[in-house]
Structure 1
């Protein structure tokens, strides 16, 4: 095999990573196995980009890989540390730490969550504290 074909195989793989070994071989008139051998000696990836496995997503909190593709967090501790959630008061903007169960029950009853009765009453009257 001439050096021109070898360089052509390398060029096709680098410029067209979506092409399969068979497609590269058909274009150059050589077998798929010979294309694979050339790519291995040149330390290039033999799989096309369409067949590459997608990397696992990272956890939103800690950045570790998530074990399953459809999950957002890697563990329960990253999802809800200590069973608590941080919410912003609708009236004054203060951060409140609530137990997740209490947050769910309050959120089911009302559209907004407040830090105190004073903030709740001021919001109802139309006088938010700022």
Structure 2
């Protein structure tokens, strides 16, 4: 019998809500537009934006337009565009022209600090 863990298994389930969605089976790209809300429960993450594109073949999620990503632990990031590589768990946040990216991180004294989007 496998030991039980308090952390939920990462089953990869992501819920995307938006005003409209389209999928291209040839390119493997899913596009959501208008009032986009993405919930990724196993990562404790909720993201909102004006548009999101999921590139299934590359394992990449691109959020654009007033992007806000908030995690259960209080970490957050706000930007005009966030590109998240699901395979490498790396994120790149870009501001609007003349703007800035804003991150809020919980700093822990035991050196287990996590960045926004860290699983």
* TM-score for both structures, normalised by structure 1: 0.27
Query: Normalized per residue, which structure has more strand?
Result: 2
User: Which entry has the higher C-alpha Rg, 1 or 2?
Assistant: 1
Higher relative contact order (CA 8 A, sep 6+): 2
* TM-score for both structures, normalised by structure 2: 0.29
